[in-house]
């Protein structure tokens, strides 16, 4: 079973590439955000614990996240491999990951400069009604400011301002750079220039995984 870890700041195209890997290689994409949502919706034992932490404004503890990832990896539809999106974020989580099964591990860092990230995120618009996301540079809707899928108006997220995006990048760097350095030291980190267009980046990732 192959484990692929994708690193990249917000706006690096990490989510899009994770989806492409899932489609092409039939690996399962595992995002901790999704796992949390599912457990909370199911009102499972883990879900209830998570709600307790978030109601107190606390982060979900590492052990719970590792337990969820481990359970997910061992479910029957995850056979060939899995892609971790947004995880591990800290060195503690890297340590926790050692109990999660994998025969082979490939870490990919999608490197993008700050200007590109800001430009990409500022050009994102989404549908108020169905949540579809478009991009005024790279993924235009057929009609200006109108959702292709449902015809509702497209708007920009309020928290997508240059200042907030820059803050998010700083937080991301402080948190994740030690983890990226860890994988670099381990010798299995592939660094790609993710300021290139989505398809160019995708063909490089595909080459790494074949």
Our CB check for Zn ion shows the closer of 101 and 151 to be 151
Minimum distance, C-beta of residue 13 to Zn ion, in the bound complex (Å): 22
Query: In this complex, which beta carbon is closest to Zn ion, that of residue 71 or of residue 129?
Result: 129
What is the nearest approach in angstroms of Zn ion to the Cβ of residue 114? 30
Chain centre to alpha carbon of residue 105: 17
Nearer to Zn ion by Cβ, of 129 and 203: the residue is 129
Instruction: Please give the backbone phi and psi of residue 7, each rounded to the nearest 5 degrees, phi first.
Output: -110, 145
The residues that are catalytic are 14, 89, 124, 157, 168
Binding positions for Zn ion, rule: CB under 5 A: 127, 129-130, 132, 147, 149-150, 152
Q: How far is the CB of 135 from Zn ion (least distance, A)?
A: 15
Q: How far is the CB of 153 from Zn ion (least distance, A)?
A: 9
Cβ nearer to Zn ion, comparing 30 with 147: 147
| Count of beta carbons in the 10 Å neighbourhood of residue 163 | 9
């Amino acid at each position: 079973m192959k484990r692929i870890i994708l690193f990249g700041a917000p706006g690096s195209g990490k989510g899009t590439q994770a989806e492409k890997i899932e489609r092409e290689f039939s690996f399962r994409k595992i995002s901790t955000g999704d796992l949390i949502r599912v457990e909370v919706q199911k009102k499972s034992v883990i879900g209830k614990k998570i709600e307790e932490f978030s109601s107190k404004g606390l982060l979900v503890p590492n052990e719970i996240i590792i337990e969820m990832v481990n359970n997910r990896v061992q479910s029957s539809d995850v056979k060939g491999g899995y892609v971790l999106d947004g995880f591990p974020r800290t060195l503690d989580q890297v340590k926790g990951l050692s109990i999660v099964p994998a025969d082979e591990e490939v870490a990919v860092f999608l490197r993008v400069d700050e200007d590109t990230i800001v430009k990409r995120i500022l050009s994102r618009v989404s549908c108020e009604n169905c949540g579809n996301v478009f991009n005024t540079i790279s993924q235009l809707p057929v009609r200006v400011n109108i959702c292709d899928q449902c015809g509702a108006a497209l708007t920009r997220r309020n928290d997508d301002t240059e200042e907030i995006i820059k803050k998010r990048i700083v937080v991301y760097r402080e948190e994740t750079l030690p983890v990226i350095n860890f994988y670099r030291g381990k010798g299995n980190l592939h660094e790609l220039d993710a300021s290139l267009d989505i398809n160019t980046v995708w063909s490089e990732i595909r080459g790494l995984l074949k």
